[in-house]
């Protein structure tokens, strides 16, 4: 099973991201109107994509993650017409430099890492393309060590947080979206410079609810090309619970203490981490 994982720059990737592609990502031709949708896996990427696709009319193109595919991917993406919405789980240092030069707009979605870990654990368990995990306890150790696909949550977050004052990057929190989605949708549309009415915001929120998105996948109504996950093309695995605080059903008090200690240590200098809601 471990053969399905390889390391690049020390970070574990699935074989869906070929080493050749990862090596040649810098040849990627970014355009000023590209929009990046950045996340550590299991942070709400599909949710965000669903909202962005509705903010834009007429339709824009949602691609699969930039790091997903083989060497032909660079050319394939370069041939796509604008406007492109491009998801990625890459950390800032691995992002093709063209995006930085062109100062493309980017969203970075943050989810409480305890819930992210739980979501990823279930994802590993349900996904035959990922290594077998014996138990939650074993998975948590791997997660804290950064020995899971896309590497350490902490490193990913910190690499992007360094750019928290960049005007072209908007940081969003999953928990804020759960609490007041219309407010976040409004903020997103202002950032994108798209005018939408309160009625449209209401409609976008309805169509982006967990129940609605899950049932669309079950009805196979969604476009299979719209998978924004680098780990699988099976959209059905994405919509599990969509809740805040599911970690409480998994962490023992001892595991929680271990997590908190590591979080405090790693996030000592982080401003954004203060906003993470447990």
Question: Using CA atoms, how far apart are residues 15 and 232, in angstroms rounded to an integer?
Answer: 11
Residue 93 near residue 159, CB atoms below 8 Å: yes
Say whether residue 42 binds ligand PPS (CB under 6 A): yes
Say whether residue 149 binds ligand PPS (CB under 6 A): no
Say whether residue 240 binds ligand PPS (CB under 6 A): yes
Q: How far is CA 62 from the centre of its chain?
A: 14
How far from 48 is each of 110, 188, 194, 203, 228, CA to CA, in Å?
Answer: 11, 10, 16, 15, 10
Say whether residue 16 binds ligand PPS (CB under 6 A): no
Number of CB atoms found within 10 A of residue 125's CB: 14
Tokens of 267: 């996030």
* Longest CA pairwise span in the chain (Å): 51
Number of CB atoms found within 10 A of residue 180's CB: 12
- Residue carrying the six token digits 């896309």: 150
Residue 109 near residue 172, CB atoms below 8 Å: yes
Please report, as residue ranges, which positions from 107 to 146 form the binding site for ligand PPS (by CB under 6 A): 115, 119, 122
Is residue 89 among the annotated active site residues?
yes
**Minimum distance from residue 180 beta carbon to ligand PPS (Å):** 13
The residue range among 7-15, 56-64, 76-84, 203-211 that interacts with ligand PPS, by the rule CB under 6 A, is 203-211
Q: Which one among 14, 17, 18, 39 touches ligand PPS, defined by CB under 6 A?
A: 39
Closer residue to ligand PPS in complex, CB, 97/234:
234
Closest to 2 measured CA to CA, from 106, 86, 124, 152: 124
**Minimum distance from residue 101 beta carbon to ligand PPS (Å):** 27
- Please state whether 137 falls in left (phi above 0), alpha (psi between -120 and 50) or beta: alpha
**Residue in 46, 89, 122, 250 annotated catalytic:** 89
Please report, as residue ranges, which positions from 210 to 229 form the binding site for ligand PPS (by CB under 6 A): 210, 213, 228-229
The residue range among 68-76, 99-107, 182-190, 202-210 that interacts with ligand PPS, by the rule CB under 6 A, is 202-210
Say whether residue 43 binds ligand PPS (CB under 6 A): yes
Chain residues binding ligand PPS by CB under 6 A are: 39, 41-47, 115, 119, 122, 208-210, 213, 228-229, 231, 238-242, 246
| Positions marked catalytic | 89
């Amino acid at each position: 099973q471990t053969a399905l994982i390889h390391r690049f720059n020390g970070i574990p990737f699935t074989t869906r991201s070929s080493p050749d592609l990862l090596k040649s990502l810098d040849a990627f031709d970014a355009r000023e109107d590209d929009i990046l949708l950045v996340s550590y896996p299991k942070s709400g990427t599909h949710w965000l994509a669903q909202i962005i696709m509705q903010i834009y009319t007429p339709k824009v193109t949602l691609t699969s993650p930039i790091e997903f595919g083989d060497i032909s991917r660079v050319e394939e993406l370069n041939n796509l017409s604008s406007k492109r919405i491009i998801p990625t789980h890459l950390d800032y240092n691995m992002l093709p430099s063209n995006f930085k030069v062109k100062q493309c707009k980017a969203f970075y979605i943050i989810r409480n890492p305890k819930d992210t870990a739980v979501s990823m654990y279930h994802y590993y368990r349900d996904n035959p393309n990922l290594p077998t995990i014996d138990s939650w306890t074993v998975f948590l150790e791997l997660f804290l060590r950064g020995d899971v696909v896309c590497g350490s949550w902490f490193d990913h977050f910190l690499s992007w947080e360094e750019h928290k004052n960049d005007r072209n990057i908007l940081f969003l929190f999953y928990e804020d979206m759960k609490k007041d989605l219309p407010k976040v949708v409004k903020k997103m549309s202002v950032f994108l410079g798209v005018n939408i009415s309160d009625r449209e915001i209401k409609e976008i929120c309805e169509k982006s609810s967990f129940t609605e998105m899950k049932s669309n996948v079950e009805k196979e109504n969604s476009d299979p090309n719209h998978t924004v996950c680098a780990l699988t093309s099976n959209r059905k695995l994405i919509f599990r619970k969509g809740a805040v605080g599911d970690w409480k059903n998994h962490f023992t008090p001892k595991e929680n203490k271990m997590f908190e200690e590591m979080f405090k240590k790693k996030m000592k200098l982080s401003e954004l981490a203060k906003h993470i809601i447990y």
